[in-house]
Amino acid sequence: MPDSAVIGDAARTLTEDEVTAFVQDSLASAGLDGRSVCVIVPDATRSCPLPLLMKAIHQALTGRVSKLTVLVALGTHAEMSPEALREHLGGEYDVLNHAWWKPETFADLGTIGADRIGEISGGRLHQEVSVKLNRAVVEHDVALIVGPVFPHEVVGFSGGNKYFFPGVAGQEVIDLSHWLGALITSASIIGTTGTTPVRALIDEAAALIPAEKLALSLVVESGTHNLHAVAFGDTQSSWRAAAEISAQTHVRYLDHPVRRIVSLMPERYQDIWTAAKGFYKVEPVVADGGEVILYAPHVRQLAAMHPEIEQIGYHCRDYFVGQWEKFRDLHWGVLAHSTHLRGAGTWDPATGEHLRVEVTLSTGIGEDVVRRANLNHLAPADFDLAAYENDPETLVIPNAGEILHRLR
């Protein structure tokens, strides 16, 4: 696989002029003249200077390509309004939300057989999966991914072919890939730069896409819209280059476990489905019996698009595996999200569930909903940030959700 072109590194951030020149030069030499291009971008839950990048892409490709369409990789998040899209992209473009709730959205690319799934998953799963993808990708000659790379709880590091699966994919691959990640566990897979089993599954599915697959893989300075680096090339090599830099910029190492962590969640996370990243990114450094508090008073629901989570609540992996007949017919992506927020634990029919870490929500969600979901509740009015900041056993993390915390 050829190497990607890379600008930038972990030690600095790029100027807007550097980014613009790199994007335009990269696309000018990519052989795109006369071809149709589908640009796949993240939604607003990801930090990314999309207005800068879209302007550079538009200038580079307008008049050269036969068609330019922007597709927002929602996964199973809520659609973005026209006004939100204009702000998100920095202008007017021919843009589509990934309408994952509409069957007509998808093209069927085939299947991955059960034996191959068994090989990829290391024997954890053994069933075939139908591979469906937003037909806009299939109907263009080139798919150009433009998105950031961060440590990720399901796949190791986000980005690359993950923008296809689950970004603009059908439910089947989403469920299978997320449940495979849950079986491995978030704490074991997050921040792994190599090809994890989930990444291998995603790459296998992406190999069925008929379009040429390119990517501008970004390493964003957390808390800003500055870029440490941009890698351009095919979706695998550019992702790999960006992941290596992300591993240097988006991982913080601690010498000792912490009894309590307070994750201050920014407003880009509008429900717990997305704000749960404030737990994923800190679970590895919480002491046994410790606590994670997610402070997000703006959040008023567990999962806007997945109300099932209110019925099943949040539980460890073994809770579901040990009662599989009861839960197997639910969306496995929902089960995976449940385990990711609850972290490590055990379950047996005699003594029930035992969890390593307590999770407390200090949000706008009602106490009855939170406690039914098997989480602790703290009213935002009773949240004392100064007290936590002055507590030597508490680590307060601003702009939580992007920086992975690990023990040395």
Percentage of the chain surpassing pLDDT 90? Answer: 92
pTM for the full model? 0.93
| Alpha carbon separation from 251 to 139, 151, 243 (Å, rounded) | 38, 8, 11
Which of 309, 243, 239, 241 has the alpha carbon at shortest distance from 274? 309
Identify the band that residue 47 occupies on the pLDDT scale cut at 50, 70 and 90. Answer: confident
pLDDT at 276 over 80: yes
Q: Do residues 1 and 203 lie in contact, with contact meaning Cβ atoms separated by under 8 Å? A: no
Q: Kindly list the structural domains of the chain, giving each domain's residue range(s) and its CATH number in brackets, ordered by start.
A: 5-249 (3.40.50.11440), 252-407 (3.90.226.30)
Identify the band that residue 77 occupies on the pLDDT scale cut at 50, 70 and 90. Answer: confident
Distance between CA atoms of 55 and 72, rounded to whole angstroms?
A: 16
Q: What is the mean pLDDT of the chain?
A: 95
* pLDDT in the model for residue 1: 45
* pLDDT in the model for residue 224: 86
Q: What is the mean pLDDT of residues 296-319?
A: 95
pLDDT at 262 over 60: yes
* pLDDT in the model for residue 102: 92
* pLDDT in the model for residue 44: 81
pLDDT at 282 over 50: yes
Distance between CA atoms of 326 and 274, rounded to whole angstroms?
A: 26
pLDDT at 3 over 90: no
Distance between CA atoms of 177 and 249, rounded to whole angstroms?
A: 26
Q: What is the mean pLDDT of residues 212-216?
A: 98
Identify the band that residue 2 occupies on the pLDDT scale cut at 50, 70 and 90. Answer: low
| 112: CB partners within 8 A, 6+ apart | 128, 129, 131, 201, 204, 205
Q: What is the mean pLDDT of residues 171-195?
A: 95
Identify the band that residue 151 occupies on the pLDDT scale cut at 50, 70 and 90. Answer: very high
**Angle in degrees, 0-180, between the axes of helices 82-89 and 50-61, rounded to the nearest 10:** 80
pLDDT, tens digit (0-9, with 9 covering 90-100), for 329-352: 999 999 999 999 999 999 999 999
Q: What is the mean pLDDT of residues 78-84?
A: 90
